[in-house]
Amino acid sequence: MGKKAIVIGAGIGGIASAIRLAHLGFETIVYETNSEPGGKIRSSQFKDYRFDMGPSVFTEPQLVDELLHLNASSTSSFSYQKLPISCNYFFEDGVKIALPSGADMVSEVLHKELGEDKAQVYRYLKRLEDNYESVYPVFISSSLHRISHWFNKGLFRALLRIPKYGLLTTMNDMNRNRFKNKKTIQIFNRFATYNGSNPYEAPGMLNIIAHLELNIGPYMPNGGMVSITEHLYEHAKSIGVDFSFNTPVTSIKYDRNGIKGVTVHERNEEADLVVSNMDVHNTYKKLLTNIKGPEKILQQEKSTSAVVFYWGIKKKFPQLDVHNIFFSDDYEEEFRTMFRDKSICSDPTVYIHISSKAEAKDAPKYGENWFVMVNAPINTGQDWEALRMELRKNILLKLNRILGEDLEQFIEIEEYMDPIKMEDMYSGMQGSIYGNSSNSKTSAFYRHPNFSSQIKGLYFAGVTVHPGGGIPLALNSAKIIEKCVKRDFKLH
């Protein structure tokens, strides 16, 4: 009889782990609390408007392609398009910048629109590219927590570039020392939000996040972000992965020799290994109640959450694109209010994702589907009803002011997501999206490992563990698990 693997959670990290384990020959079953796969990468239809409910920025599509073609005979087909504009940026003084991708074009636009030195911008973007490519093999696609993973051909290059990473400074200071325009600094600082952190505290190392969007560019899956889930889910089933929905795991079973399985519906299901794609904090809190977790990691400051409004807008806005940012006039105060005061400032930065700009069928011919998001603190008992209503008012005031429209009259469909709903639906601790923030010099390197040092055969996938938040890093967590399992189970 072959070996059996159980994956807890059908988020993107869980599905990717299941595919890789099945490819290694494990009989694999995924237990999911919700009624559908994908975790946050899911879709909802509200009358004539379709919305991707969670992540909306897609980079490194080759990671999805790789999963779909682990088996050379696979016929899975996943299509996507590169977006010509990475993001539209709107500022309170009326300045609007449509920023393309590619170091040459970004440098040209920031020179023309914001007066930056073109050569300086280009050099900085190439530095971020070199930093990213240097740390990728030793930090992003490998485990920091196993010495055997360190010794690959990229280690020497990564070590040589340590002075270039900005480990001893913040993202903001690193950007402030290179650009003269506040708006340029704000554009680069915003990438801290991609893992729920504060650019005024997070290490300069995290500026590498900008590389994927500014040097390479974002993509849009044909069919929307949910297409990522749909293709990986169908592929997983085609290679024998079993999925059980509406099936919450209530505990992870183990003894001194290691993993024994899990408990579902008051019955024990045996397994040789278990992967938890659940938020690592809640994995310990709810499924491993008899074990002491790594307290120093679990007690770190949590990442941000979000409040999202899903608006069906019965009007076309040609000045908007797929990705749009309306910046706060005081960015530092916005983060201070989130992390220190656990609240939302009166002038928040507003992100609007409009998939119907690329997928016309996502909205009626006369309208657009607006995913309107503001970064928010985790849930610590705030009055979210009052905060949400105040936020809605402030968002409309800001957008009306900048776009010169009375938006309220165009909203014909409205739904929302907030930290309480996020915790209920996705089991993120206190509504945190990415687990721990990276608001210290070491926290980016001090995430929970992808395996348990206490229980043999227990592994961890997803955005709350190493290497971090976002779709590419969640997919890489599954790749790291595959490497660990190969070594642990002596598979070749």
Q: Position of tokens 């080759």? A: 62
Same domain, 429 and 308: yes
For residue 229, tell me if it sits in a domain: no
Distance CA 213, CA 228 (A): 18
Is the alpha carbon torsion for 247, 13, 423, 301 positive or negative? positive
Among 400, 397, 414, residue whose Cα is nearest residue 314: 414
Same domain, 337 and 429: yes
Residue 224 CA, distance from chain mean position: 16
What's phi and psi for 411, nearest 5 deg?
-85, 110
Q: What is the DSSP letter of 213?
A: I
pLDDT score of 147: 62
For residue 233, tell me if it sits in a domain: no
Strand partners, 96: 90
Distance CA 427, CA 258 (A): 25
Question: Domain end: 197, 215, 233, which one?
Answer: 215
Residue 141 sits in a domain of what CATH number? 1.10.405
Question: Domain end: 413, 433, 453, which one?
Answer: 433
Same domain, 115 and 152: yes
| pTM, to two decimals | 0.95
pLDDT score of 25: 96
Angle made by CA atoms 64, 261, 248, in degrees to the nearest 5: 70
For residue 350, tell me if it sits in a domain: yes
Same domain, 355 and 405: yes
For residue 237, tell me if it sits in a domain: no
Cβ 477 vs Cβ 462: under 8 Å: yes
Cβ 12 vs Cβ 223: under 8 Å: no
463's tokens: 């955005």
Helix (H) or strand (E) holding 375, with range, is strand 368-376
Q: What is the DSSP letter of 142?
A: S
- 401: helix, coil or strand? helix
Domain region containing 147: 104-215
Same domain, 168 and 316: no
Locate the DSSP E strands across 43-120.
43-46, 49-52, 80-82, 87-90, 96-99
Is the alpha carbon torsion for 184, 189, 190, 191 positive or negative? positive
Same domain, 121 and 196: yes
- Domain count for the chain: 3
Pairing of strands 258-264, 267-270: antiparallel
Residue 261 CA, distance from chain mean position: 29
pLDDT score of 82: 97
For residue 260, tell me if it sits in a domain: yes
Residue 21 sits in a domain of what CATH number? 3.50.50.60
Same domain, 276 and 318: no
Strand partners, 414: 311
pLDDT score of 1: 53
Same domain, 190 and 296: no
Angle made by CA atoms 356, 358, 361, in degrees to the nearest 5: 45
Same domain, 341 and 254: no
Distance CA 288, CA 410 (A): 49
Mean pLDDT, consecutive 10-residue stretches, the chain (492 aa), reads 92 98 97 97 97 97 95 81 97 97 98 98 97 89 69 66 83 97 98 96 95 98 97 96 98 97 96 97 94 85 96 98 98 98 97 98 98 98 98 98 97 98 94 91 79 96 94 97 95 80
Distance CA 113, CA 95 (A): 9
For residue 240, tell me if it sits in a domain: no
Residue 396 sits in a domain of what CATH number? 3.90.660.20
Question: Domain end: 195, 215, 235, which one?
Answer: 215
Locate the DSSP E strands across 192-341.
219-221, 242-244, 249-255, 258-264, 267-270, 273-276, 305-313, 323-326
For residue 409, tell me if it sits in a domain: yes
Distance CA 358, CA 85 (A): 12
Same domain, 255 and 186: no
For residue 425, tell me if it sits in a domain: yes
First-to-last alpha carbon distance for the chain, in angstroms, is: 19
Same domain, 77 and 188: no
Among 125, 130, 139, 135, residue whose Cα is nearest residue 158: 135
Angle made by CA atoms 143, 461, 219, in degrees to the nearest 5: 95
Give the alpha-carbon dihedral of 18, 359, 414, 395, to 10 degrees: 100
Q: Which residues fall within 8 angstroms of residue 380, CB to CB, at 6 or more apart?
A: 342, 430
Same domain, 202 and 250: no
